[in-house]
Structure 1
C-alpha cells in the first residue's frame, strides 16, 4: 500500500514527509480545473475570433482538433516521461507549458499563431493527463474511483468556467485575446499548488529507468485486443465532447443567441459533466462491474444529441444538461475502468495513458467531421446525428467490459516484465 510504503520510508529516512492528504486532493482538483478552459473558451468567442483572424469553420476546428490530437500523441509518451523525470516533475513542467500557451494568446496576430498556442496548451495537457491517473492510483490506492471522480469533475468544471467567463471578460477587456490569455493565471496558481502538494521521489531511488521500459510496456499493451477496445470506446465517446465544445455555442448563435448566452449553455453542459463525473464513479464504486452506470451515461448522451438534432429550440438547457451528464459520467467511468484492469499503479497508469492516447487521436477528428458536415449541409444537425450514432455503438461495445474477464484480457507477466525489468 502507498501509505505503508511512505511510513516505512520515513522510518529509514529515505522519503520526505508526505504532504497532507487534503492538500494532495486539492492539487488533483486544481490540476484538473486547468485542463479544459483553453478549449471551452473558444466556442462562445467563435464569431469574434473568425472576424479577427479570418479563420473558416474548418480552420476554427483546428483550435480543438490540434490540441486533442497532441493529447493523443503525447499520452503515448507519458509513461516514458514519468519514468525518466518522475510524475511530479512531469506535471509541474506540463502546467508551466499550459500557462505559457495561454499567456501567448495575448499577442497572437493571426489564425496560425492562435492554432500554435493551442498546440502548446495541448502538449501540456497531454503530459498531465498521462501522468495523473497513475499518480492517483499510487497515492490513493483504496479510493481510486472517488478520487478520479474528483479529478474528472474538476476537469469538467474548469471547462464550465472557460465557457462562462470568457465572453464577459471579452466585453470588459474589449478583446477576445485578453479573454483567452486570462487562463494562464489559474494554470500558474495550480503550478504553485502542485509544487507544494505533489509527493517527491525517495532520495534513495535509483536513476530513472530507460525510456525503453515504458515503451516496452506500451508495445505489450498494444498487443492486447482489450487495449484497442478501450481506446476505440474512449475516443469515439469523447468525440461528442470535442464537437460540443467547438460547435454548441456557434450552433445556438446561428439560432440568434448572444455570445454570453451561448457560453452559458456550454457552461451548463460542463457543470452537468462535472456533477456526473463526480457522482457516477462514487455510485459505481459499490461494484467492480461498472457497465450498468456506463450504459446509463451513454443513454443520456443519445438523448442529448437527439434533442439538439430534432428539437434544438424546445429545451436547449435540458439537452445540454442531459448530454453533458452522459459525457462527463462516461469520461470518468472509462478512466476508472482502465485503472481497474491492472493492479499496480505503473501498469494501470500505462494502460490509462495508452487508452487516452489512442482515444484522443480519434476524438480530435470529431470537430473537423462536424465542421465538414456543416459545410455540406449548412447546419450542425448532421453532426449531432453522427454523435448520436457513435454513442449507440459505444454502448454495444461497452457490454464487453466484464470485470470477470479483466485477468484474461491482460496477462500480467508480459506487461509487468516490460515495466519492471531488472536494474
Structure 2
C-alpha cells in the first residue's frame, strides 16, 4: 500500500467541514437506513412468499445469502471500485441499485425476480458498505467510534423497521410484493440527500492503494473473526420469525420479534462504540468479549427456553449482535492510523467476512431442512460465538505496529 499523504482529499471535500458534524452524521443515518430493508423485509413474509412462488426453505435462504455474498465479493474489489467510480458516484450507484431492486419486486413478484433483485440490491448495499468505513475514518477524526456507532445503529434500525412494517404493508395491501418492494422510497430520499450534499465532481477519484492484504495473516484473522461474530445476524433475520411461527406464533407477532431485537441492536450499536470512544487506548477486547457473551447467552436461551423467555433471549442476542458489527469495524480501523490503509483493511475484512455471513443463512436453511427444526441453527451460532470469545484475546494493540501492514 502507498503511504503517501493525500493532497487530493480536498477535491472530495470533508463531510465534517462542508456542512458540519451534525449534517455528516445525519447523512450517515440516511445511508445506513437503506442497507438492510431489502434483506430484512423477506423473513416475516417468507411463508406467503413460499406459498405464492413455490420456493423451498433453502431457496428463500438464498434471498439473504446472495446479498451478503455480494457484500463480500464487492468489498474484495474495493480498490478498483473506488478508483473507477470514486466515493460520490459509487454511493450514488449503490443507492440506485437498491432502489431498482425494490421496484422490480413490486413489478414482478416471482421467485426468479426475488433472486435477481437479491443480487442487484446486494451489489448496491455492498458498494456503499465498502466505501463508507474509510470515509468515516477520514471525515470524523477523533470521533470514529461515535460515527461508526451511529452508522451501525442506523443500519440495524433500517432492518428492524423493515421487519416490523413489511408484514403490515402486505396485510393492508393484500400484497407481499409491496411489503418487500416499497423500500425504494427511503432509497430515493437518501439518493437526493447524497447528491445534494457530497456527490463528487465528475472526474474526481478517491485515491486508493493496491490491495495486497491477502499476504498478511492478521488480515485473514480479522476477516474470519468479523465473519463469525456477525454470522448470527444473517441467520437470525432469515429464520427467527420462521422459528417462532413453527412454535405457533402468527406472522405479525413473529415479525415483531425482529423489531424487538433491533431495539437492542441499536442500543448496543450506539452505547458500545461510545464506551470505546471514552476508553483510554484502543484495546477493544473487553467490549468485544462482553458482546460475544451476550450472543452466546441469547442463543442458549433460544435453545433451552424459547417460549417463556423469548423477549429476554432475543434482546440479549440482539445487544450482542448490534455491538459486534460496529466494534468489529472499529477494530480493523484501529490497526493503522492512515485512513486509506485502515479502510482497505476494513474492506478486506468485510469482503471475506460477508462471504462467511452469506453462507450462514444457507447453511441454517439446510440444517432446518435436514432436522425439521431450528435447534441445530442456534447450536451452530452458539459454538461460533464461544470460539470467537477465545480468539478475541489475540487482538493486543501493542502488536499492531509489528504486523507490517504498512508494506501492503
Find the counterpart in structure 2 of residue 297 from structure 1.
291
Indicate yes or no: 2:312 matched with 1:355: no
Partner deviation per Cα, 1:177-220 (whole Å, 9 max, x = no partner): 011111000011111111122264699x7x666xxx64x3x22x
User: What are the superposed Cα offsets for residues 100-149 of structure 1, whole Å, 9 maximum, x if unpaired?
Assistant: 11111002242111111111110001100100001111111111011000
1:343 Cα offset (Å): 1.0
Cα distance change on mapping 1:305 and 1:15 into 2, 3 Å: closer
Counterpart-to-counterpart distance in 2, 1:398 and 1:84: 36
The residue aligned with 2:90 is: 90
Correspondence 1:28-47 to 2 at 5 A = 28-47=28-47
Q: State which of 391, 395, 399 in structure 2 corresponds to 1:397.
A: 391
Aligned-residue offset at 1:301: 0.2
Match of 1:342 in 2: 336
Pick which of 18-27 and 280-289 moved more.
Answer: 18-27
Aligned equivalent of 1:269, options 261, 265, 271 = 261
Which whole-Å CA distance do the structure 2 matches of 1:173 and 1:385 have between them?
38
**Structure 1: runs of 5 or more not aligned:** 416-423
CA contact (8 A) 1:133 1:352 kept: yes
Q: From the superposition, tell whether residues 411 and 351 of structure 1 become closer, same or farther in structure 2 (CA, over 3 Å).
A: closer
Q: Secondary structure at the match of 1:55?
A: coil
Closer, same or farther: CA 192–257 of 1 in aligned 2, 3 Å? same
**CA contact 1:44–1:250 (8 Å) conserved in 2:** yes
How many Å apart are 1:27 and its aligned residue? 0.7
User: CA offsets per residue over residues 58-104 of structure 1, 9 Å max, x none?
Assistant: 11110001110011001111222112222121111111111111111
Deviation string for 1:23-65 (max 9, x for gaps)? 2211111101110011111110010000111000011110001
Q: Per-residue CA shift, 1:284-318, capped at 9, x if unaligned?
A: 22131010000000000000000111111021111
Question: Do structure 1's residue 237 and structure 2's residue 248 form an aligned pair?
Answer: no
Q: Which aligned pairs between 1:244-263 and structure 2 lie closer than 5 A?
A: 244-263=236-255
Change in Cα spacing, 1:302 to 1:56, as seen in structure 2 (3 Å) is: same
Q: Which residue of 2 aligns with 1:330?
A: 324
Q: Is the 8 A contact 1:19 1:199 kept in 2?
A: no
1:196 paired residue number: 196
Question: Match of 1:19?
Answer: 19
Per-residue deviation at 1:9?
5.7
User: In the alignment, is residue 181 of structure 1 matched against residue 184 of structure 2?
Assistant: no
Are the aligned partners of 2:67 and 2:123 in contact in 1 as well (CA < 8 Å)?
Answer: yes
Q: Which whole-Å CA distance do the structure 2 matches of 1:50 and 1:411 have between them? A: 47
SS in structure 2 opposite 1:289?
A: coil
SS for the counterpart of 1:86 is helix
Query: Residues 114, 325 of structure 1: CA spacing in aligned structure 2 closer, same or farther, 3 A cutoff?
Result: same
Contact 1:302 1:323 survives alignment (8 Å): yes
User: TM-score scaled to structure 1, two decimals?
Assistant: 0.90
Structure 1 contact 338–351 (Cα < 8 Å) conserved: yes
Q: Which runs of 5 or more residues in structure 2 are unaligned?
A: 1-5
**Deviation at residue 346 of structure 1 after TM alignment:** 1.1
Following superposition of structure 1 onto structure 2, how do residues 35-114 of structure 1 map, counting pairs within 5 Å? 35-114=35-114
Residue 319 of structure 1: how far off its partner (Å): 0.9
Q: Which residue pairs with 2:382 in the alignment?
A: 388
Q: Distance in 1 between matches of 2:199 and 2:41?
A: 32
Report what 2:3 is aligned to.
none
Q: Name the structure 1 match of 2:372.
A: 378
Report deviation, 1:271: 1.8
Q: Is 1:310 aligned with 2:304?
A: yes
Counterpart-to-counterpart distance in 2, 1:149 and 1:202: 31
Who is 1:421 aligned against? none
Aligned to 1:418: none
